[in-house]
């Protein structure tokens, strides 16, 4: 608070019997030395307690994986269960994914076990995460597990010469000015390719109709 606190109990009451006498005879230097010694002993005790806590905490932890900028990692969904709760439901589905991604590491702070991920498709999500929430992304081996790889189909060429991708489902919506934006999941692509699309590009879209019919937020007039 910008001021020295009062000593409780008062200095005279805390002095040994041999030093208690007339207030004018109190040796200020001895009092200051005693207080400083008590403070140092308290600091030493706190440091020893922190070291002991860290020792027992690390005894139950495995070796922490260290990532560098550019690595692809999977992000735990343990603390983001609400993102997998359907609108109107009170509980999260039992079999929601435990990891999603991959996400690319943009900043690495291994000394504090924190990393910043590229989550540009989810701007409201905090991009900084502890190493305990990450694990290294291991790409699928198509020769061993061909059924696990997503086909990632290419775009469809329209009559106007435009390239369009097919929307699998709409995951979320939010207001933007007078309109709406929707988080879409593309058919054949993972969550890392989810993208916010303006509602004006989703006219006569079946995925939007399903989203609104299931109680999703959107324009009142359809």
Give the mean pLDDT of the chain.
77
The pair phi, psi for residue 129, each rounded to 5°, is -140, 150
Confidence (pTM): 0.46
Q: How confident is the model at residue 49 (pLDDT cuts 50, 70, 90)?
A: very high
Cβ proximity of 107 and 77 under 8 Å? no
- Please report the pLDDT score of residue 179 as a whole number: 84
* pLDDT confidence tier of residue 154, bands split at 50, 70 and 90: low
Instruction: Provide the β-strand partners of residue 117.
Output: 105
Q: Tokens standing for 125? A: 């999500």
- Using an 8 Å Cβ cutoff, are 64 and 115 in contact? no
Between CA 170 and CA 216 the distance in angstroms is 9
Q: What is the pLDDT of residue 46?
A: 94
Kindly indicate the confidence band of residue 63, based on its pLDDT and cuts at 50, 70 and 90: confident
Has residue 192 got a pLDDT over 80?
Answer: no
Average pLDDT of the segment spanning 106-119: 89
CA–CA separation, 182 and 192 (whole Å): 15
């Amino acid at each position: 608070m910008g001021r020295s606190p009062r000593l409780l109990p008062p200095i005279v009451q805390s002095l040994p019997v041999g030093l208690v006498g007339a207030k004018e005879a109190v040796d200020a230097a001895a009092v200051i030395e005693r207080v400083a010694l008590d403070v140092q002993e308290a600091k030493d005790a706190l440091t020893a307690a922190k070291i002991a806590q860290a020792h027992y905490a690390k005894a139950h932890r495995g070796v922490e994986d260290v990532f560098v900028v550019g690595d692809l990692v999977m992000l735990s969904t343990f603390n983001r269960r609400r993102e997998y709760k359907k609108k109107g439901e009170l509980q999260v589905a039992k079999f929601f994914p435990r990891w999603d991604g991959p996400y690319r590491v943009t900043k690495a702070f291994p000394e504090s076990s924190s990393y910043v991920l590229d989550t540009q498709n989810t701007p409201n999500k905090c991009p900084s995460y502890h190493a305990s929430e990450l694990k290294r992304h291991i790409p699928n081996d198509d020769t061993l597990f061909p059924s696990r790889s997503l086909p990632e189909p290419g775009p469809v060429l329209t009559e106007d010469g435009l390239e369009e991708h097919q929307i699998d489902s709409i995951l979320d919506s939010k207001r933007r000015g007078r309109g709406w934006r929707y988080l879409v999941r593309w058919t054949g692509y993972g969550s890392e390719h989810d993208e916010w699309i303006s509602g004006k590009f989703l006219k006569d879209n079946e995925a939007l109709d399903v989203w609104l019919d299931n109680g999703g937020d959107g324009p009142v007039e359809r």
